[in-house]
C-alpha cells in the first residue's frame, strides 16, 4: 500500500480531505494518524494523517481458482477455530469424491459418540464442496482412520447377530444407526442366504432388523440386540442357581453352621487356684493366667 499524507485543523478534517481526494470510503482506506492538531499560544499545529487504499484480500473459499476440496478444507479449518478445536485438516484426494482427513489433539471432539460429530462435520463439508455444482460430488471426512475401523466393527457385529438370529429362530433388532452405517450392515449380510435385512422406523431413530429364514413366529416382535447379555444374566440367576443357593450367606455349605463369634470370651473358675476351665465356645486362643500363682 502506498500512503499519502494529508493535513487539517483536526484529525477528522485531515481524514475527510484525504478520502475525498483519493475517492475512497473509510472502509476502503488504511489510515495512520501522525500528529493530532492542537492550538498553541502563538498559532496552531495542524493534524497530519497518512491514507492508503486497502489491498483487496482474496477469499480462498470463494476463489474461482480453488478446487472443491480446497474450499472445503479452508471451511473446516475455520469451523474448528470457531469450535475451539485444535485440529489439522488435510486434503487426501480429489476426484470422483473428496477425501479429507482430520488429525486432532482430542479425537473425541471430532468423532463424537458413534461418529455423530464426524458425520455432522462431513454433512457441512459436503454442502460447501457442492455449492454451485450441477452434479453432486461425495465428500468423506475421516479422523485418524475411524471410518475404516468402524466399518470392520459393524461387519463383525452383523455376522454375530445373524448367527444369533439363526440360533434362536427370531428376528433381531439393532440399535438406531445413520444411513451410512445401515448401508454397511445391509451390504455385510447381502451375501448371507440364510438371513435378510430390512430398515424400519423413522429418522433419526431408523434401525435394521435381521430376519432369519428359519423364523419360528413371523408375528413375534424382534429381540433388541443390546439386551442379550442382560437377559442371559437374569436366566443364569433364576431358578435357584444363584450365588448363595447351595451355600450359606457366609460361604458355608448348607448355610446352617453357626457363624464364628469373636466377641465371646472364656470364663475363669472361682477357686483359689486361679486356673481356667474352657467351656464349649468358638473362641480360640491362649490364656496366660495370673503370674502370682506360679508356685501353685
pLDDT of residue 43: 75
Helix (H, G, I), strand (E, B) or coil at 209: strand
Give the DSSP letter string of 129-195: HTTT-SS--EEEEEETTHHHHHHHHHHHHHHHHHHHHHHHTS-EEPPP--HHHHHHHHHHHTT-TTE
The confidence score (pLDDT) of residue 227 equals: 56
C-alpha cell at 288: 496366660
- The single-letter DSSP state of residue 57 is P
Question: What pLDDT is stored for residue 271 in this prediction?
Answer: 43
CA distances from 168 to 207, 216, 234 (A): 20, 9, 17
Q: For residue 35, list its beta bridge partners.
A: 48
pLDDT in tens, the chain (296 residues): 689 999 998 889 999 999 999 999 888 898 988 888 777 777 788 899 999 998 765 555 555 678 999 999 999 999 999 998 989 899 999 988 999 999 988 899 999 988 999 999 999 999 999 988 889 999 999 998 999 999 999 999 999 999 999 999 999 999 999 888 999 999 999 999 999 999 999 988 999 999 999 999 989 999 998 754 444 444 444 444 444 444 444 444 444 445 545 555 544 444 444 444 444 444 334 333 444 444 43
At residue 58, the pLDDT reads 56
* Whether 140 contacts 97, CB under 8 Å: yes
pLDDT at 245: 44
Beta strand spans in the chain (E):
4-8, 29-35, 38-39, 44-45, 47-53, 87-94, 97-104, 138-143, 172-173, 195-200, 207-212, 223-224
Q: How far, in whole angstroms, is CA 208 from its chain's centroid?
A: 23
Contacts by 193-202 with C-beta closer than 8 Å and gap 24+? 194/162, 194/166, 195/162, 195/165, 195/166, 201/176
CA distances from 40 to 44, 48, 251 (A): 5, 16, 103
Task: Name the pairing type of β-strands 195-200 and 207-212.
Answer: antiparallel
Residues 6+ apart with CB under 8 A from 79: 121, 124
pTM over 0.75: no
pLDDT at residue 39 in the model:
75
Question: CA 167, CA 183: separation in Å to the nearest integer?
Answer: 24
Q: What is the pLDDT of residue 285?
A: 40
pLDDT, position 64: 65
C-alpha neighbours within 13 Å on the C-beta side of residue 49: 22
Amino acid at each position: 500500500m502506498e500512503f499519502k499524507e494529508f493535513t487539517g485543523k483536526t484529525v477528522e478534517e485531515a481524514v475527510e480531505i484525504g478520502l475525498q481526494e483519493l475517492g475512497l470510503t473509510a472502509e476502503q482506506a488504511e489510515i495512520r494518524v501522525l500528529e493530532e492538531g492542537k492550538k498553541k499560544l502563538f498559532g496552531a499545529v495542524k493534524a497530519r494523517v497518512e491514507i492508503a487504499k486497502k489491498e483487496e484480500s482474496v477469499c480462498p473459499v470463494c476463489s474461482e481458482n480453488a478446487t472443491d476440496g480446497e474450499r472445503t478444507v479452508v471451511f473446516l479449518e475455520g469451523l474448528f477455530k470457531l469450535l475451539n478445536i485444535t485440529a489439522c485438516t488435510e486434503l487426501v484426494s480429489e476426484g470422483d469424491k473428496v477425501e479429507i482427513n482430520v488429525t486432532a489433539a482430542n479425537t473425541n471432539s471430532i468423532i463424537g459418540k458413534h461418529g455423530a460429530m464426524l458425520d455432522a462435520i462431513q454433512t457441512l463439508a459436503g454442502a460447501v464442496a457442492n455449492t454451485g455444482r450441477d452434479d453432486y460430488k461425495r465428500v468423506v471426512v475421516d479422523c485418524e482412520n475411524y471410518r475404516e475401523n468402524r466399518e470392520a466393527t459393524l461387519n463383525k457385529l452383523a455376522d454375530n447377530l445373524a448367527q444369533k438370529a439363526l440360533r434362536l429362530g427370531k428376528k433381531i433388532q439393532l440399535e438406531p444407526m445413520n444411513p451410512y452405517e445401515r448401508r454397511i450392515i445391509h451390504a455385510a449380510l447381502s451375501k448371507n442366504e440364510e438371513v435378510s435385512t430390512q430398515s424400519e422406523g423413522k429418522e433419526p431413530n431408523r434401525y435394521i432388523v435381521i430376519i432369519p429364514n428359519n423364523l419360528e413366529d413371523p408375528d413375534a416382535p424382534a429381540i433388541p440386540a443390546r439386551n442379550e447379555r442382560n437377559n442371559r444374566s437374569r436366566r443364569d440367576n433364576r431358578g435357584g442357581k444363584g450365588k448363595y443357593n447351595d451355600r450359606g450367606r457366609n460361604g458355608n455349605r448348607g448355610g446352617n453352621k453357626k457363624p464364628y463369634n469373636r466377641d465371646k470370651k472364656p470364663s475363669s473358675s472361682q477357686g483359689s487356684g486361679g486356673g481356667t476351665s474352657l467351656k464349649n465356645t468358638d473362641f480360640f486362643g491362649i490364656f496366660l493366667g495370673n503370674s502370682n500363682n506360679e508356685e501353685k
